Each structure stands twice: as structure tokens, then as C-alpha cells.
């Protein structure tokens, strides 16, 4: 199975109660068409599978920033750290977006940190509304493992990774790279991985294998590369989680290697 959820649940539940004006000014603290109280509850259930990320950071509510924006704009109307949210906040009638974020959402990939975020639109029409925002990582976890036998047949090898967020740039996963690495992706995003192989001197020319995968935020993918000798030729097996595919490399190896 190619996809596994590496981040089982990171939830942010925000309840926004907006109360309509009563019949007189004495019955309400404000006298606008729309107003209400903002109460925020952040729930986290992080289950990271890697020591590369400090899980406790994302469990700490104080690290979350909460923002209310008018729909169609990028300028916050209200913004707080979790611990700074006031008990009462006035909002006029209109359409808004409530968001919560922990981490830097502008990065294209992460190694020792993450970004957890979520957003939800809501409308105020002289009534009370409840808005629930579910947050999750904006990235997919990728881990590439090179079998130790790779050094027997190749003088150099790596995997070049392309994502939409990288915007034409390449992330080169070298044999010395320590994973996992978290790549920012959209839902069902395309991730292209090109395996670059340089055989040892005298046994063949450089070759490459390009594969394309679909990954969404909170997905996890583990790729294992292993060389295989059969009938005097060299092949590479690519194992994605539990699925193994063998790819011929069209390299004729010396008889003593077979």
C-alpha cells in the first residue's frame, strides 16, 4: 500500500458562537447587526513515526496562531496566539474565514519541523454559528532507503525529487541523506522521482529511472532501492511500502559478479 497516514490526527476544533442582538440595548453588550463571543478549543492527537520532528511542539496550544479574515482578502481582521484570544470579539454580519496554523506554511519541504494548518469559511447573519476547523500537516512524509549492496555496483546514486511547491527546483536525495523529509503537497499532488545511477567504471553507462507518484498531505511513502543480479544483467527493485517492482537497468555485469 503506497500511502500510509504518518500523522494520524492533528485536529483543531474551533467553536465560534455569534449571538444576534436582543430587543433592546440593555439586553446585549453591543448594538451592531452582528456580534459574538469567540471561544477556541485546540485538540491535538499527534502520533509521529519519526524522531525527526519534535511532537511536543505541535501538542503545545501556545504555538498555534488563530486568524479571522474577511472572505476574499488576505488581511487579518483579528489574529491571536492561542493564549491571547479575548473572551468577547465583535464581528459584523458578513462572510469570513477562520484559520489556525502552527509552523511556517511557506516552506517547500521540512526536515526537523512541520506545518500544521486548517481553515473554514463561515457566514454571520444576525445568528449564532459553530465553525469546526480540522487541521493537518501541509506535507507528505517521504523516506528513501538505499540497500547497502548499492555500493557494490554503483559509484554514485541519488533520487531527484520534484513537486509543484518546488516550482521547478529539484531536491536531490543523496546516499548520505537522512530521512524522512516532508514535502509540501496539495491534495493528490504529483511527486516525480528520478533515480540517477552511475555504475562502477567499466560495467556500463549512467542511467536513470523516472517514476511519478500521487501524494496528499499527511500521506507517507517509503521507497527502498535494491540492486539485483540475474542472467548476467543488473536490475533495480523499487519497493514502495509493500509493493515491489523490478526495473532492468540494461547493464551487463562481469561474470564474476553474477
pLDDT in tens, 136-181: 889 998 999 999 999 988 899 999 999 999 999 999 999 999 889 9
Residue that terminates a domain, selected from 137, 165, 191: 137
Quickly state the pLDDT bin for 44 (edges 50, 70, 90).
low
Residue 219 CB contacts under 8 Å (≥ 6 apart), including other chains: 3, 4, 5, 6, 140, 141, 185
CB 126 within 8 A of CB 20: yes
Residue that terminates a domain, selected from 137, 157, 175: 137
Number of domains in the chain: 2
Q: Are strands 35-41 and 13-19 parallel, antiparallel or unpaired?
A: antiparallel
| Residue owning grid cell 454559528 | 129
Judgement on whether residues 13 and 122 belong to the same structural domain of the protein: yes
Judgement on whether residues 222 and 123 belong to the same structural domain of the protein: no
Q: Which of 108-117, 159-168, 215-224, 249-258 has the highest mean pLDDT?
A: 159-168
Domain encompassing residue 184: 139-257
> What would the mean pLDDT of 237-242 be, rounded to a whole number?
80
Judgement on whether residues 91 and 119 belong to the same structural domain of the protein: yes
CB 101 within 8 A of CB 117: yes
Judgement on whether residues 224 and 153 belong to the same structural domain of the protein: yes
Judgement on whether residues 52 and 18 belong to the same structural domain of the protein: yes
Judgement on whether residues 133 and 147 belong to the same structural domain of the protein: no
Amino acid at each position: 500500500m503506497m500511502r500510509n497516514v504518518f500523522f494520524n490526527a492533528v485536529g483543531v476544533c474551533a467553536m465560534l458562537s455569534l449571538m444576534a442582538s436582543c430587543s433592546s440595548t440593555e439586553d446585549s453588550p453591543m448594538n451592531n447587526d452582528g456580534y459574538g463571543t469567540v471561544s477556541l478549543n485546540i485538540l491535538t492527537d499527534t502520533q509521529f513515526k519519526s524522531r525527526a520532528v519534535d511532537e511536543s511542539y505541535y501538542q503545545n496550544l501556545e504555538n498555534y496562531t488563530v486568524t479571522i479574515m474577511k472572505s476574499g482578502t488576505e488581511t487579518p481582521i483579528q489574529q491571536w496566539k492561542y493564549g491571547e484570544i479575548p473572551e468577547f470579539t465583535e464581528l459584523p454580519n458578513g462572510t469570513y474565514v477562520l484559520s489556525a496554523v502552527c509552523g511556517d506554511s511557506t516552506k517547500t519541504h521540512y526536515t526537523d519541523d512541520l506545518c500544521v494548518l486548517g481553515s473554514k469559511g463561515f457566514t454571520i447573519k444576525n445568528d449564532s454559528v459553530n465553525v469546526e476547523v480540522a487541521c493537518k500537516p501541509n506535507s507528505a512524509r517521504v523516506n528513501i532507503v538505499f540497500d547497502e549492496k548499492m555500493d557494490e555496483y554503483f559509484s554514485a546514486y541519488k533520487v531527484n525529487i520534484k513537486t509543484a511547491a518546488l516550482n521547478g527546483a529539484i531536491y536531490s536525495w543523496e546516499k548520505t541523506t537522512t530521512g524522512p523529509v516532508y514535502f509540501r503537497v496539495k491534495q493528490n499532488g504529483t511527486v516525480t522521482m528520478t533515480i540517477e545511477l552511475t555504475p562502477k567504471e567499466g560495467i556500463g553507462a549512467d542511467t536513470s529511472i523516472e517514476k511519478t507518484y500521487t501524494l496528499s498531505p499527511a500521506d507517507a511513502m517509503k521507497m527502498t532501492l535494491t540492486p539485483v543480479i540475474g542472467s548476467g544483467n543488473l536490475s533495480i527493485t523499487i519497493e514502495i511500502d509493500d509493493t515491489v517492482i523490478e526495473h532492468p537497468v540494461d547493464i551487463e555485469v562481469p561474470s564474476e559478479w553474477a
